[in-house]
Amino acid sequence: MKPATEPATLTSATFEDLVHEMLVRLGEDPAREGLTATPERVHKAMKFLTKGYQEDPEALLKGALFTVNYDEMVIVKDIEVFSLCEHHMLPFFGKVHVAYIPNGRVIGLSKIPRLIELFSRRLQIQERLTTQIAETIQKVIEPQGVGVVIEARHLCMMMRGVEKQHSAAVTSSMLGSFRNEEETRSEFLSLIHQRPNGI
């Protein structure tokens, strides 16, 4: 029989056990006042920050589709995004701009930020996040086209590695008319870079 003080094996360890072990390996004392509740807090935080794994993006959008006779560009811009980089599990954050041209159906406007949150609450890379948002909208409502641009800062670059404090990554995914028609793409990019009071 194992001694009561022996650490739990990986398969039987709780999330809290693993955080406790990490603190020990970092050279900390998990019993000191500031850290006694840290394993539970980290577990709760990580469950929240990765809750997107338990959500269905297509079901989210299908619950708010409306038939309309409108075929001009719909843009929702400057949507705040926070996610965790899958390489270092450090945050990246920024803004997402989404546009689409309806083809008989539109999405309830609040569902676009919800879709972004759903995908961002997973371990991510910015490039995949960008394409997941665009491809899901394209698949569910089959618009004439979809454009998504993300501008984000990554703490894995700012706090470690190259330690560049003011660098930002910009990614885009253009589908349908946004890919095929330069005028459509240019209109989208122009509109998302207008100042808020210039809309």
Q: Which candidate, 93, 182, 77, places its Cα nearest to that of 129? A: 93
- Exactly one of 20, 85, 117, 138 is catalytic; which is it? 85
Q: Is 6 a catalytic residue?
A: no
- Exactly one of 16, 28, 43, 156 is catalytic; which is it? 156
Q: Is 20 a catalytic residue?
A: no
Q: Is 85 a catalytic residue?
A: yes
* Burial of 167 from C-beta contacts in 10 A (0-12 / 13-18 / 19+): exposed
- Exactly one of 86, 127, 142, 194 is catalytic; which is it? 86
Q: Where are the domains of the chain?
A: 15-49, 56-194
For the 56-194 domain, the top CATH level (class) is alpha beta
> Tens digit of pLDDT per residue, the chain (199 long)?
444 445 556 678 999 999 999 999 999 999 999 999 999 999 999 999 999 999 999 999 999 999 999 999 999 999 999 999 999 999 999 999 999 999 999 999 999 999 999 999 999 999 999 999 999 999 999 999 999 999 999 998 888 777 677 788 999 999 999 999 999 999 999 999 886 654 4
Tokens at 196, concatenated:
């808020």
